[in-house]
Amino acid sequence: MQSFTDATVIQITADPRARQRLSGQDIPAVASALTWLGERLYYLAATNTPPFDNQDTLIDTLLHFWTSALYMDTSTP
Convert the pLDDT of each residue in 9-52 to its tens digit. Answer: 999 999 999 999 999 999 999 999 999 999 999 999 999 999 99
Gap between the Cα atoms of 25 and 18, Å rounded: 11
Measured CA to CA in angstroms, residue 53 lies from 21, 33, 39, 60 at distances of 32, 22, 14, 12
User: Is 22 a member of any domain?
Assistant: no
User: Is 3 a member of any domain?
Assistant: no
Number of domains in the chain: 1
Residue 48's domain comprises 27-72
pTM of the model: 0.87
User: Is 43 a member of any domain?
Assistant: yes
